[in-house]
């Protein structure tokens, strides 16, 4: 019997230190790498907002650039502390797409973590998600919240794996279009 994992609308966090105010969040996009390709900072709190400057999400290619991202966003680090150097959580888009393509079970919760992060970032961009993509992603995230095996859900709901892949790729594109990248 599966245990309840995380609520589908809350970012998954690996760090349980709630006194820490800045969290380093990694995104692995390239399946050929084992480490994240992009990073952002999440300001811990009720809303857990990512970094935003001029209406754009701020990502960076190396953790050392976190301080530059904070400066770009006009965030006073004296209130939040120095940026973390260790990753607190990872949104593994590459592994999520692999699992959707080749597996029927997500024992590690990677897919749910990825969906939670993408859905939260889409909200921040204020980009309206196409109704069908929203329907399948939220339904899938809700299901993964309580079950690891997902093939039967897809069959019962008559959702093609390609529909979820397309919805995830739409999210990645919408987030990218509303982002600034520091290199």
Per residue in 57-113, pLDDT (tens digit) is 999 999 999 999 999 988 777 777 888 989 999 999 999 999 999 999 999 999 999
Per residue in 163-176, pLDDT (tens digit) is 999 999 999 999 99
Check pLDDT > 80 for residue 12: no
Q: Which long-range contacts (CB under 8 A, 24 or more apart) does 150-156 make?
A: 150/104, 150/105, 150/106, 150/111, 151/104, 151/105
Check pLDDT > 70 for residue 48: no
Angle at 129 between CA 43 and CA 28, to 5 degrees: 50
Check pLDDT > 90 for residue 46: no
Q: What residue segments make up the domains of the chain, in order of their start?
A: 22-182
Strand ranges for the chain from DSSP E: 22-28, 38-43, 52-53, 56-60, 87-92, 179-182
Alpha carbon 79 to its chain centroid, in Å, reads: 25
What is d(CA 145, CA 57) in angstroms, rounded to the nearest whole number?
A: 26
- What pTM was estimated for this model as a whole? 0.86
């Amino acid at each position: 019997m599966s245990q309840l994992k995380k609520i589908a609308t809350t970012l998954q966090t690996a760090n349980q230190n709630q006194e820490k105010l800045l969290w380093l969040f990694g995104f692995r996009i390239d399946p050929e790498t084992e480490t994240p390709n992009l990073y952002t900072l999440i300001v811990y709190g009720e809303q857990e907002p990512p970094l935003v400057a001029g209406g754009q999400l701020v990502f960076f290619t190396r953790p050392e650039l976190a301080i530059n991202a904070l400066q770009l966003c006009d965030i006073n680090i004296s209130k939040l502390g120095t940026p973390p150097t260790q990753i607190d959580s990872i949104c593994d888009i590459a592994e999520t797409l692999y699992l959707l393509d080749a597996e029927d079970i997500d024992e590690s919760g990677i897919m749910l973590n990825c969906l939670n992060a993408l859905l939260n970032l889409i909200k921040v961009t204020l980009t309206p998600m196409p109704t069908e993509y929203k329907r399948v992603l939220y339904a899938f995230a809700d299901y993964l919240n309580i079950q690891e095996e997902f093939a039967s859900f897809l069959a019962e709901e008559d959702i093609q794996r390609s529909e979820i892949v397309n919805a995830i790729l739409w999210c990645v594109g919408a987030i990218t279009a509303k982002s600034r990248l520091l290199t």
